[in-house]
Structure 1
């Protein structure tokens, strides 16, 4: 696969799946726009990407839940590179809790980041993707279909994201724009530590999940990145409206 002269915008590009995806695209000569809230982390990932093929990414420090900043992201990306070929909506948050131990602030934060921001950014990027017959990949989760009493808001946001993926795929198919999602199982990224889990708690979660899934090995961010890049490539030219599960077999049990 070769992404020479392709412009790829990745939200959540400073860590986790977004960062792994950025590095993967960089090794295939993509022109990258990396978006995240942490400027220093963005610069670090951008340096890795530039070292791959000598192509300097554009970094945009922004909060995707702020409407004005979403507009700025699209304007700066297209203004810098002149077009947009691939949009990867990877930014996401998790706030644990159910009906007995949650609050509306957590719900609003999860839905604002995981769904509203994706809707808004995709809406603003659509006209540019139509011009290039580009594609969109949303980072969802197996939690979109696997109920959990511990992460209700997160699960609801990802279920909504899967339906969004299919609806937008249907709308934009006639324009030659493909839209798909990747639905990972547990991937050890900063999303759980950001949710408030200690390192010991995180390690316990990792062991419990790994031991309970059929393949009994953790899903790596690179595993998810590889599927994202595949879906963005011409090898997936006939795939749209699909949700690709990468979970070590977790949904089998």
Structure 2
């Protein structure tokens, strides 16, 4: 995959897709920068990366992407001297219909899912131009399809998809590629963090057998493998793409 020795930032590396993606980059021999707000969870990801590759070079940055974007990029360059791949994975969701959701909820979701990506991209771009690196944004099926009581989250991810395409055009002449992955339902703690009880989460996983054409939900590694592909030279002629990793959910229509 030509990722050995590449310097990779993975935001939201403390759990779920981010943690698994960091581990997969470690297996490739990349130098991995792990960022997240939960230091204990970051250390767990660090341990998993070292178990995957005992020689891996890691940098842990406990940070909040909404306030520490410049710090994340600056600290990475101070440590490794370059940046080859930025994986904007950190994400946040809050549910609520328009009659119920509050402005501060809107702001929190947009700050994490869109504004932080803008800032990280802006600060990272000059360094990615030097290395002719690339960006992979972790979006969602919610950016491609509409769901009730999820207007803010869906809008943030749709905006991220458009941002991905626009920045891909901005940086194409510099030979910097920008792509996004759009996962469907993946087995992580994300749904629990947005308020689903264990009972409701179990119901969601069972219902997802009917909403994903392949008849099941996805696993974090299935997303991480595509992120690795998009970050590598194997996808050298792909930019501005938003790739669903959703078992065919984006192609389905309710009956």
Q: TM-score range by the shorter chain?
A: over 0.9
Whether the aligned pair in 1 keeps the contact of 2:7 and 2:33 (CA below 8 Å) is yes
Cα shift at 1:219: 1.0
Question: What is aligned with 2:204?
Answer: 205
Question: What is aligned with 1:242?
Answer: 241
Cα shift at 1:249: 1.1
Question: What is aligned with 2:83?
Answer: 84
Cα shift at 1:188: 2.1
SS in structure 2 of the partner of residue 175 of structure 1 = coil
Question: What is aligned with 1:43?
Answer: 43
Cα shift at 1:128: 0.3
Mean Cα deviation higher: 188-197 or 82-91: 188-197
CA distance in 1, matches of 2:21, 2:224: 4
Whether the aligned pair in 1 keeps the contact of 2:22 and 2:34 (CA below 8 Å) is yes
CA distance in 2, matches of 1:87, 1:56: 16
Mean Cα deviation higher: 21-30 or 188-197: 188-197
CA distance in 2, matches of 1:105, 1:206: 29
CA distance in 2, matches of 1:63, 1:105: 17
CA distance in 2, matches of 1:105, 1:133: 38
Cα shift at 1:234: 0.5
Cα shift at 1:209: 1.4
Q: Map residues 8-157 of structure 1 onto 2, 5 A cutoff.
A: 8-53=8-53, 54-66=55-67, 69-157=68-156
1:171-218 CA-partner distances (Å, limit 9, x unpaired) = 000101000000111112121111121111111111111233221111
CA distance in 1, matches of 2:39, 2:230: 28
Cα shift at 1:243: 0.5
Structure 2 segments unaligned to the other structure (5+ residues): none
1:41-97 CA-partner distances (Å, limit 9, x unpaired) = 00110111122222131010001111xx21111111111011000000000011011
Q: What number of residue pairs does the alignment pair up?
A: 251
CA distance in 1, matches of 2:212, 2:9: 33
Q: Which runs of 4+ in 1 moved over 6 A?
A: none
CA distance in 1, matches of 2:207, 2:89: 25
SS in structure 1 of the partner of residue 173 of structure 2 = helix
Q: Cα RMSD (Å) of the superposition? A: 0.9
CA distance in 1, matches of 2:144, 2:29: 35
* TM-score for both structures, normalised by structure 1: 0.97
Whether the aligned pair in 2 keeps the contact of 1:2 and 1:29 (CA below 8 Å) is no
* TM-score for both structures, normalised by structure 2: 0.96
Whether the aligned pair in 1 keeps the contact of 2:2 and 2:233 (CA below 8 Å) is no
